[in-house]
Chains A and B, each alone.
Chain A
Amino acid sequence: MSSTVQKTGRTWKKPPFIANPMLRWGLLIAVVAYVWWAITTLPFDWERIQDGVPRAIRIFKGAFPPSFIRGELLFDGFMESIKIAIVSTLLGLALSVPIAFASASNIAPKWLYTIGRGVIIVARSFHPVIVAILFVKAVGFGPLAGILTLTVYSIGFVAKMLAERIEEIDWGQVEAIRAAGGATFVTLLYAVIPQIMPRQIGLSIYQLDSNLRASAIVGIVGAGGIGSTLLNAFGRYDYDFALAITLCIIGVILVSEAISGRIRRNLW
C-alpha cells in the first residue's frame, strides 16, 4: 500500500461533550471554584488530625486480635437484630402494599396519589438513624424503636419500588377483567397482583437483607440489636471486642447477601 498521502490540510479535534464553549468553560471553572471553596471552608482540625496516625496505631494495636470473650453478648445482640429485621420486614411489607397502590398514578385518584407519594417521600428522606433517634425518644430504648424505624425504612423503599411496578403494568389485562364485569377488588386480584407478584417477592427478600444490615446500625443510637453492643464496646474503649463485633457484622452481611442473591436469582 502506498504511504504517500496527499496533504489535505484539514485538522480534526474531537467534538467536546458540551458544544457551547461558554457553557463548557463556565461549568469547568464553576466546578474547580466549588471544589476549592468547599475544601477551604470545611473546618479541618489539622492538629487533631496529625495526632491521627499515632492514635490509629494505638487503636489497631488494641483491636488486634479480636476478642470473642463476651461471645454471649455478641450472640444475643445478633439474635435481637435478626428478630427486629424479621418483624419490621413483615410489617413494612404489609403496609407497603396499600401505600404502593395509593401511590400509583394509574390506580389511585389524584388526592390519594399525593398523600401516598408524600408518605413515601417522608419515609425516604430521613436516614434510618434519625428516625431511630426520634422513635427512641418517643417509645424508649430497645428493639421496639428499632422495629418502628425499620418499618418506616422498609415502606420508603418497598412502597416506592412497588408503586413504580404498578405503574408499569400491562393495562390490557385490567381492561379485560373489567370488561368481563369484575368489580375493583376482583380486578386487582386477577389483573394486577399476578403482575406485581414476582417483583414483590424479590423486593421482600432484598428488604429482609437490607433490614438486617440496617438493624445493626440503628442499634448505635439505642434502638436495640448488635448496634447497641457495638456502641457500648466503643464507649468502653473495648476495641478488640468492637473489632470482633464488626467482623461478625461483615460476615453476617456477606452471608445474608449471598443467600438473598441466590434466592432471587433462582426466582427468575
Chain B
Amino acid sequence: MLRIKELVKRYGEEKAVLKNLNLEVPGESVVSIIGASGAGKSTLLRCINRLVEPSSGSIELNGTELTKLEGKALRLARRRIGMVFQGFNLIDRLTVMENVQSGRLGYLPAWRAVTRKYPQEDIDRAFHLMERVGIAHYADKRADELSGGERQRVGVVRALMQEPEILLADEPTASLDPKTSRQIMELLRALASELHLPVLINIHNVNEAKEYTQRIVGMRFGRIIFDGEPVDLTNDAMDDIYAGVPAEERGDAESSTHLREVAAR
C-alpha cells in the first residue's frame, strides 16, 4: 500500500509543481496517471523513490516513511521500488543479462557485482523473467543492439529483479511505436496480476490508459482532479484535465508532440 499525504514539490521560490497531493494505491492495482505535460506526473513518480526531493509531505510505502530516509536506509528502501523509464535507461555497452542483474545491485555484495559472478538463484530468476517477457535468447547481446520494445522489456525485467513491492513506470511507452506500445502495456498489466504487484503508470495516451488500467488518476497543474474508473472518464472530465491543450496532444501517443514535451521538461 502506497500512501501519499500532502505532497508538495517546489523548485526554489517559484510556484509549486506538486500541490498538496493526496493519493492511496492499495496492493495489486494498476493505476494510470494522465495529464498534460507540465502537470507534474513525472515529478510525482520521482518523488516516491526520491530521485526528486519532495519539499514537504509524507510518502509511506507499506509502513515505511520514505521522505525521511537517508544514505543506506534510502538505498534499502529503493530496492523495494522498481522503476521503468521512458528512455529505457539501460547500460548500452553491457549485455542484457548484466543490465537485468543490475536490478539486484541493491542486494549483491560488491565483489560479485564487479566480477559478474551472480548467484545461481539470481540467474534462475533472470532467465525465468526473461523467458516470461520473451527476451531470454538475448541474454548475451549488448543492450544497444536491441529494438525499442525489446529494450523496454529489459527495463521491465530489471525492475522486477528487485522483487519490488511496487512498480513505477514513467511513460514507459512514449518512445515506442503503437503496436509495441500495446505489447508493453499488456505485459505490465499481466505481470501486475501474476505477481500481485501494485503498478503506477504515467501515460500520455489516454486510450491505452482506459484499456489497460483499472483506475485512472488525472492531474492538472500539480493537483489530482480526477480519480476513478475508466468508464467514469467522460469528455467533460477530459476537458477538465486537458483544458487548453490542443486536440492533437490529447489521447495521442504521436511521437512528435511528446518529444517536444520531453525536451521542455
Residues of A with Cβ closer than 8 Å to B? Answer: 1-3, 5-15
What separation, in Å, do the CA atoms of A37 and B163 have in the docked complex? 51
Q: Convert B163-206 into 0s and 1s, putting 1 for each residue whose CB lies closer than 8 angstroms to a CB of A.
A: 11100000000000000000000000000000111000000000
A1 to B124, Cβ gap below 8 A?
no
Smallest CB gap from B123: residue in A: A12
B121 to A1, Cβ gap below 8 A?
no
B124 to A7, Cβ gap below 8 A?
yes
| Contacts A/B (CB < 8 Å), 16 sampled | A1-B160, A1-B164, A1-B196, A5-B121, A5-B124, A5-B128, A7-B124, A8-B124, A9-B124, A10-B124, A10-B127, A12-B126, A13-B116, A14-B95, A14-B98, A14-B116
Residues of B with Cβ closer than 8 Å to A? Answer: 95, 97-98, 116, 118, 120-121, 123-128, 139-140, 160, 163-165, 195-197
Instruction: For A6, give its contact among B95, B124, B163 (CB under 8 Å).
Output: B124
What separation, in Å, do the CA atoms of A200 and B71 have in the docked complex? 51
B128 to A3, Cβ gap below 8 A?
no
Residues in A neighbouring B127, C-beta threshold 8 A: 8, 10
What separation, in Å, do the CA atoms of A3 and B95 have in the docked complex? 25
Q: A7-B124, A10-B123 are in contact. Are A2 and B195 (CB under 8 A)?
A: yes
Other than the given A1-B164, A11-B120, A12-B126, 14 more pairs (CB < 8 A) read A1-B160, A1-B163, A1-B196, A1-B197, A2-B195, A3-B163, A6-B128, A7-B120, A7-B124, A8-B123, A8-B128, A9-B124, A10-B127, A12-B97
Residues in A neighbouring B95, C-beta threshold 8 A: 14-15
What separation, in Å, do the CA atoms of A12 and B125 have in the docked complex? 12
Residues in B neighbouring A11, C-beta threshold 8 A: 120, 123
Residues in A neighbouring B128, C-beta threshold 8 A: 5-6, 8
Residues in B neighbouring A8, C-beta threshold 8 A: 123-124, 127-128
